[in-house]
Amino acid sequence: MDPLKFVVVDLETTGNSPKRGERIIQLSAVTIENGKITDQYTSFVSPGKPIPAFIEELTGINDEMVQDAPAFDEIAPVVHKILEGAVFVAHNVNFDLSFLQAEFEESGYVPFDGPSVDTVELAKVAFPSADSFKLSELSSTLDVSHVRPHQADSDAYVTAEILLYFIDTLNGLPLVTLEKLRKLSDHLKSDLYLIFEQILHDKYERIEDLPEGLEVHRGLAIRKKGSLKISTGKADEGEGIEELLKRTVPHYERRGAQLDMMESITDAFHLSKNMVIEAGTGVGKSLGYLWPSLDFAIRKGERVVISTYTIQLQEQLLQQEIKRLEAIAPFPFKTVLLKGKNHYINLFKFEQSLREDEAQYDAALTKMQILVWLTRTETGDMSELNLSSGGQLFWNRLKQDGWHLPHHKDPWVSKDFYLSARKEALEADLIITNHSMLLTDVKMEKKMLPDFNYLVIDEAHHLEKAARQHLGIMMDYPSIKFTVSQLGSLDHHQLYKRLDELLANHSVSMELHPFEMDRLITDFYRELEEAFTVLASTFYKQSKKRSGVNKIQWRLTEDVKKSRQWMPVRMIIERVVSHMKTIEGQFRKVLDTVKEKKIKLSDPEKAFIEEFFSFLLDWNELYSGLSTLFLRALDEYVIWLEGDTRSLPNSLTIQGQPVTVSDQLRDEVFVKKESVILTSATLTVSDSFDFFLQEIGLKGAGTLRLPSPFDYREATRLFIPSDVPEIQQVTNEEYIESISSHLIGVAQATKGRMLILFTSYDMLRKTYELMKDSGILEEYVLMAQGITSGSRTRLTKNFQRFDKAILFGTSSFWEGVDIPGEDLSCLAMVRLPFSPPDEPVTQAKAEILKAAGKNAFSALSLPEAIIRFKQGIGRLIRRSSDRGIIIVYDRRIISTRYGKAFLESIPDMPVQEGDLFELIDQIEDWL
């Protein structure tokens, strides 16, 4: 078999669509033969039209540069010759290939008719855990030099290097994996099968050993599990932490507050008491609790559980902070990261899914990603994978949900990642988990976490919210539709049809005749559709009361549930729930029959029974959610609907949460543990922990405040503009216009490097549009949450890449965004972060406080807003060398009596008032 010749092409163009007359302005083609780059051809191309400003900004290519360049028809014969007998390769191949074909046709040449390979698709297969499949992100991760992004010569060369890197990566995979990848590659969009055929042809020519660290079980190559035991250099175990830090940390600087925190936690563990610690930015909070937790765990033989708010923070602790702990500790120790079971893959279900003829693109691609990932993962945790949304839906079929049949019948049970993680946890000194799993475990009879008595809760300001969400119920229309549609009917080859065939093969019958069951399922689908139509229509009528607002919330009080308008909803939901109960009852009985009769099932049938069992768990959760939210009286719960009136019922979400969780947290967490440590950078309001302690129901705990060691008086200035209107005295539109023009002036003075925080998405969008449309900030990159594509992490990374960047954020951007150094020099807050008074949970809590004779504003709204404000302030100064300016546009911070509480709760810093010109003078002097 002759080696493949690849030609890697990249084009820069005047726009996105050749059909709209857009043209090529630069072309580069890199030739690869015998696995090596042998040539590169590059040319500017005259487009015969002006280059748009945004293309010039993106590529750095202007009209002058293409003025004397050849037209495409002049270089067409050269390009045609280069492509002869080659595989056409590009990063996002459809774009480059369709453009080139259009230009060939325009020039009177036959379009290229050879195979093509998309390096985006290749990256997804060969590097399934990449954070991003963008060219710039991949080159940075793989350490490939990318000199001029968005210029064709640089992009094409980098794409060629990445192609060779990934072919080399695939070459290192075992034969069993490659054979499966080759078969699945028939269903991809580009011709990757050619690469697999070439690799397999070369492998069949020689005998190879299995790569080290891998094993093959039932035809699947997986990574052997390594021990998580961590050993460190021997040292004197009598050394104190300060001596260890001095000896192991280069350029060690003593942090008094961190040492105080360590001492306080050690005392709390030894005295079996609860402790609440606010540790400001720069204290070194993570190490401040990790060291005493580990030291206590080793000395006392007690495991300590560390819980943080999100799975990302959990990963960060393991990958960064635990590594630092390894360097310090003079003894071996073991840390395990534990998540909920459906984060782990069920290998038996996956093995059987590979036997299906898979024509569906997302499923085929996801199977390929998993095959490669299994040769690398030691955890089996799906969050390591970067799956498409279709891939995540397919993952639902493969997730670990426990077993219906005796689990020793699962031929993969000895390799199961979830059981392995639990076993590792039994031997661990430290277990890292998240609030969600911690609270799930509290509710479950069969615990996932092994017994423990010592607990550290990081990001503790989120505990109350996490507990409310976790003890609550949330469901949305698309998820409900997706869950129930998996059942199908006898006309569709989905779960019910497959179950019916399995039962017929083994002469097992259901109570209901298959056709009666089919009619029941069809009736259920019709009733469910009608239920959501009625619900959406009732909800839509509420929106008429709020003109001009598309996204609305509607609280379902007990009065609403008793009203005449609610009766049709209640009646149809009762029918839906009744159908669901009957359908589930029938399926449960038949699954139990299959189990009790000990029918001899084939492996595909066993895997299918487990898949059906998983489906019934999801079905039951849906059934109990609908009946709880719509049909039961829930005095202690707040229930609400939310949605966008432009896309009902698809945007409809129904939620229910307990109004308070203090009793549950006290009874299930604090009372049952010997010692609980709660810590965060923001727990106090005006130097007091009272609000936080009351929200979580904790009494009798010790408290400790450790302010940030940073010198905010030197590092920061807080400005309050005097030339913007008071929020309450103007319309929303007038306020946004005033803020936007002010922000434009500030952005020019700070040269971007600015984060603007909003409390409402609507205000963010309007401000972003006004600033963008002004035309004044053309040389600035404006990025906005929910408008510019990408997750919070992606937006933050992109913000750091550009010199003149402005980032607009709401909700999640008030905290957890870490932009140290000069990348962020200015933080602007458009409003003080009060929750809207009609927000359902705020409203319900306020009613309880009023009933108890308390002032809901001072007891709830104000302290909540202050903690959020402190979080926002914390975005600016992340290191001792950082400097920056904070602008608070909301004049209530100085014009109201309560405004003082905001300023008292943040680190001491100079506060100044002034108009835009004074502010700009100050910025220019100071920055």
Residue 584 · residue 576 · CB < 8 Å: no
Packing angle of the helix pair 93-106, 72-83 (nearest 10 deg): 120
**281 belongs to an annotated ligand binding site:** yes
C-alpha span between 824 and 756 (Å, rounded): 11
**283 belongs to an annotated ligand binding site:** yes
- Give residue 296's identity as a one-letter amino acid code: F
Pairing of the two strands 637-644 and 551-555: antiparallel
**390 belongs to an annotated ligand binding site:** no
For 28, residues 6+ apart whose C-beta sits below 8 A from its C-beta are 9, 10, 40, 41, 42, 43, 152, 153, 155, 156, 157
Alpha-carbon dihedral angle through residues 862, 867, 869, 875, given to the nearest 10 degrees: 180
C-alpha span between 763 and 776 (Å, rounded): 20
Query: Which of 737, 545, 535 lies closest to 639 in space, CA to CA?
Result: 535
**703 belongs to an annotated ligand binding site:** no
- Tell me: cis bond preceding 907? Omega within 30 of 0 counts: no
**176 belongs to an annotated ligand binding site:** no
Residue 71 · residue 46 · CB < 8 Å: yes
Residue 704, beta-bridge partner list: 277
**715 belongs to an annotated ligand binding site:** no
- Give residue 221's identity as a one-letter amino acid code: A
Residue 89, beta-bridge partner list: 8, 117
Q: Distance of alpha carbon 520 from its chain centroid, rounded?
A: 38
Query: Which of 131, 127, 122, 161 lies closest to 144 in space, CA to CA?
Result: 161
Tokens read off for 544: 């008429």
C-alpha span between 881 and 709 (Å, rounded): 12
Looking from the CA of 169 toward its CB, the CA atoms found within 13 Å total: 18
Residue 3, beta-bridge partner list: none
Packing angle of the helix pair 603-631, 495-505 (nearest 10 deg): 130
Residue 195, beta-bridge partner list: none
Max Cα distance, the chain (Å) = 86
Report CA torsion sign: 628, 634, 638, 643.
Answer: positive
C-alpha span between 372 and 350 (Å, rounded): 13
DSSP 3-state of 476: strand
- Give residue 244's identity as a one-letter amino acid code: L
Residue 430 · residue 335 · CB < 8 Å: yes
Binding residues for ATP: 279-286
Binding residues: 279-286
